Amino acid sequence: MAPPIDAAALQALRSRLTTATVYEPGFDGYADSLIRWSDTGMKYAGVVVQPIEVADIQTALLWAQEFGVADIATKGGGHSTAGTSSSDGGLVIDLSRMKEVTVDTNKKTITAQGGATWKDVDETGAAHGLAAVGGTVNHTGVGGLTLGGGYGWLSGQYGLTIDNLLSAQVVLADGTLVTASTTENPDLFWGLRGAGYNFGVVVNFTYQGYDQADPVYAGILGFMPDKLEGVMDQLNVTLASPDARSGAMCIFSQAPDGSGPIIVVICFHNGPRENGQKQFSGLLALEPILDTLDMVPYSVVNTLQNPQATYGDRKLFKGIFYQPPLDPKFARMIFNDFMAKINAEPDLTPSAIILEFTDMRKICEVPLTETALASRNFTQNGIIFLRWTDASRDLEHRAWAREIQAKWKAELDTRTADQEAGDDVPQYINYAEPGDSVVSNIYGVNLARLQGLKAKYDPNNVFNKMHPILLK
């Protein structure tokens, strides 16, 4: 644990702040301020500042640099399992009190403060008949998901979250508040869209909204393990004949009632029931043991994973990537290995492997160099999601997850061996933990330009928590 911050320095901070709430070790509320979505993401900060005004963010950043407080973290939703929204003995700028969401109905735009969650965006947008491309777990913060790219159920139609970001207000390391858009500081706007953790504290995001007054066809299908190959075949069909209005996730997990392994498929179709039933007719024909598909408000879709993604316990993410069609034999091998591990380690029972089946055509229309995001390709994303309680098993569980991740990487390499990968980067930054040895290249062809931006906007590397851009 880092040494405590000097008392005189803390007093200087308090004297300079205006309306922010400040938590120090030993003070009431300090322990609660450290809580994160995953217990693995919790660290003991030297001081936590919860601002409600931009001026206090500026003050806190300048104070930290003046007094040599180097470990500076920004906390939005706090979903990082690696602790990138936490600080070991340093400063946390906690935006959780800055979560206002407003709508401009004439321009059809939605503006969210940096501490808002996608629940705030979904529900505020829905009140005005609008939706934005956002996260699929609605208590995820808008900041982290947006700055890394942002996949959502509407990505097939409208692209990534960053493709629908119109502007952002950012507090830079020198305390300056700037607006970034295609017309103001366009170079910074380019960098925010895919590597945005590296440049400042984003206090406002303005997104393009889309008319979404009608309900969508969505829900959960559950299958017994013997249907795995059939499920894979049908999900592969959805990618072979993609529909921009549809998407799916396949989840390998234990049934919530403890009855044994189950294959869960979350289905989404932004259209009427009959069209959705046609889109997923192959899956429905496999006679699922669970079927909740129905017409629901769009905002409900982003709650479907919430029961699995609750706060608490120790968690990790490992990004996995596959080239469709996904080989059902490989999927079976992974499924069997995963379930054998859970049976041998009951503490891992809430864990899951999550595979996405997304129409990537709209996403791939945007050239690799148009935004900082370097992973626009037809490779599909997935997550190894481990959840446990025993802290003494952290290293062991992480090592096992890396083994499974390496199997996916080997499968991808085999499938793409005859392709010229060049500077293509299949790793999606938001699914890649910092320091992950399997994820060796995050920024691809955009790295050199990002290094130039880093030198311009953050030359002292104040913002270095999430895949930091190292200067030349």
CATH number at 267 reads 3.40.462.20
User: What pTM does this model have?
Assistant: 0.96
The neighbouring-strand residues paired with 356 are: 249
Rounded to 5 degrees, what angle do the CA atoms 319, 151, 187 make?
100
> Would you say 389 and 347 are in contact if contact means Cβ atoms under 8 Å apart?
yes
Q: Which helix (H) or strand (E) holds 56?
A: helix 54-66
Q: What is the pLDDT of residue 425?
A: 64
In 3D, which of 462, 412, 404 has the Cα closest to residue 436?
404
Q: Any idea what the CATH number is for the domain that residue 186 is in?
A: 3.30.465.10
Domain range spanning residue 54? 7-94
Of the residues 38, 68, 94, which one is the last residue of a structural domain? 94
Task: Give the CATH number for residue 20.
Answer: 3.30.43.10
User: What is the per-residue pLDDT across 248-259, written as a single tens digit (0 to 9) for each?
Assistant: 999 999 998 888
* Number of CB atoms found within 10 A of residue 15's CB: 8
Residue 148 predicted with pLDDT over 80: yes
Measured CA to CA, the distance from residue 342 to residue 348 in angstroms comes to 6
Asked if 207 and 165 touch (Cβ cutoff 8 Å), the reply is yes
Gap between the Cα atoms of 305 and 341, Å rounded: 22
Domain-embedded: residue 463: no
Using one digit for the tens of pLDDT, what is the confidence trace for 269-310? 999 999 999 999 999 999 999 999 999 999 999 999 999 999
C-alpha to C-alpha distance for 24 and 10, rounded to whole angstroms: 9
Own/partner pairs, 229-232, CB within 8 angstroms, 24+ separation? 229/328, 229/329, 229/331, 229/332, 230/286, 231/263, 231/265, 231/283, 231/286, 232/326, 232/327, 232/328, 232/331
Does 323 lie in the same domain as 417? yes
Q: Are residues 319 and 346 in the same domain?
A: yes
**Do 300 and 415 have their domain in common?**
yes
Alpha carbons 241 and 244: distance in angstroms, whole number: 10
Residues 222 and 363 in one domain: yes
Which segment of 88-97, 335-344, 348-357, 427-436 scores lowest on mean pLDDT? 427-436
Angle subtended at Cα 379 by Cα 466 and Cα 470, rounded to the nearest 5 degrees: 25
Would 447 be classed as within a structural domain?
no
Same domain, 220 and 368: yes
Express each pLDDT in 439-466 by its tens digit: 567 898 999 999 999 999 999 999 999 9
Q: Report residue 423's pLDDT band, with 50, 70 and 90 as the boundaries.
A: very low
Task: Return d(Cα 366, Cα 158) in angstroms, integer.
Answer: 11
Q: How many residues does the chain have?
A: 472
Residue 472 belongs to some domain of the structure: no
292 lies in some domain = yes
Q: Do residues 332 and 261 make contact, with C-beta atoms less than 8 angstroms apart?
A: no
88, 116: one domain: no
In a domain? residue 465: no
Q: Which two tokens stand for residue 448?
A: 């050199």
Same domain for 118 and 83, yes or no, is no
Examine residue 436 and state whether it is found in any structural domain, yes or no: no
156 and 225 part of one domain? no
Please name the residue that has the structure tokens 């303005």: 206
Two tokens, residue 142 = 């808008």
Q: Within this chain, do residues 349 and 369 fall inside the same structural domain, yes or no?
A: yes
Q: Please indicate, yes or no, whether residues 166 and 257 belong to a single structural domain of this protein.
A: no
433 falls in which pLDDT band (50, 70, 90)?
confident
Domain end marker among 180, 212, 244? 212
Q: Could you tell me if residue 2 is inside a domain?
A: no
Structure confidence by residue, pLDDT tens digits, 364-374: 999 999 999 99
Q: Are residues 276 and 311 in the same domain?
A: yes
Q: Say yes or no: 371 and 249 in one domain.
A: yes
Total of domains in the chain: 3
Contact at 8 Å (CB) between 49 and 97?
no
Please name the residues in contact with 456: beta carbons below 8 A apart, sequence gap of 6 or more.
187
Domain end call among 212, 232, 257: 212
The answer to the question of residue 346 being in a domain is yes
